[in-house]
Amino acid sequence: MTKRWQINYVIFLTMILFFFVNPLNAQSENKSNFFGLNPSVTVEPFYDKGELDINILPIVYQTSLTKRLDVRITSIFNLGIRNEGNEISHFGLETALPIFFKAKLDKKERSKGFFVAPIVSLTRNKIEEHNNVGLWIEPGYHLLFDNNFALSFGLQLGGTYFSYDNGLTKWGNHFGVKVIFGKWI
């Protein structure tokens, strides 16, 4: 993957986030927005021993849609650590809809508390040459501090559909621990 292609991908991802999120914000002027990071490491069962992926662009954006429902978008841009050399492996987006157990008094308030989120993840793995569609459920807790700093903890459970370039397809189990930190502004 060339540097130019990587830069184009980052620009494309930024544009998607801007164009997807900007109309949501147009609905309400003083709306709270969460910007954060979701550091993550992925190890697949089919990787050789010592191989893994590290998300090197783990940007998270979250905003409220209703008093109980948020939308969360997470970028995926993984560096594949492989025995034969390192390179960009996965890229894509994860979209979640956290549904909070306790409704806010006003939609403009910052989200906090227990939630459950259905998640769809769309990625491309260029090293193993396959596209992925992940379908998960994430129960979790969004902890809000006095200074608008927040931590979100969740467990992801579900399945991932692998569609290989050679025509093979398969389903795999998914289990993930999600830790997001950032700030509401």
Q: Which structural domain range is residue 125 located in?
A: 3-184
Our count of domains for the chain comes to 1
| Residue 30: predicted pLDDT | 64
* Percent of the chain clearing pLDDT 70 (strictly above): 84
Mean pLDDT of the chain: 87
pLDDT of residue 176: 87
Q: What is the pLDDT of residue 6?
A: 52
Segment 69-105, tens digit of pLDDT: 999 999 999 999 999 999 999 999 999 999 999 999 9
SS (HEC) of the chain: CCHHHHHHHHHHHHHHHHHHHHHHHHCCCCCCEEEEECCCEECCCCCCCCCEEEECCCEEEEEECCCCEEEEEEEEEEEEECCCCCEEEEEEEEEECCEECCCCCCCCCCCCEEEEEEEEEEEEECCCCEEEEEEEEEEEEEEECCCCEEEEEEEEEEEEEEEECCCCEEEEEEEEEEEEEEEEC
pTM above 0.85, yes or no: no
Compute the radius of gyration of the chain from its Cα atoms: 17
CATH number at residue 111: 2.40.160
pLDDT tens figures, 6-22: 555 555 555 555 555 55
Judge whether 8 and 15 are in contact, CB under 8 Å.
Answer: no
In the predicted model, is pLDDT for residue 126 greater than 60? Answer: yes
| pLDDT, tens only, 29-62 | 567 899 999 999 888 888 889 999 999 999 999 9
Sole residue written with tokens 């894509």: 92
Mean pLDDT of 114-137: 95
Q: What is the pLDDT of residue 37?
A: 97
Give me the pLDDT at residue 81, please. Answer: 92
> β-strands 149-164, 41-42: how paired?
unpaired
β-pair partners for 55: 78
Predicted pLDDT of residue 128? 87
d(CA 13, CA 171): 26
The first and second tokens of residue 122, run together, are: 């769309």
Q: What gap in Å lies between CA 9 and CA 5, rounded to an integer? A: 6
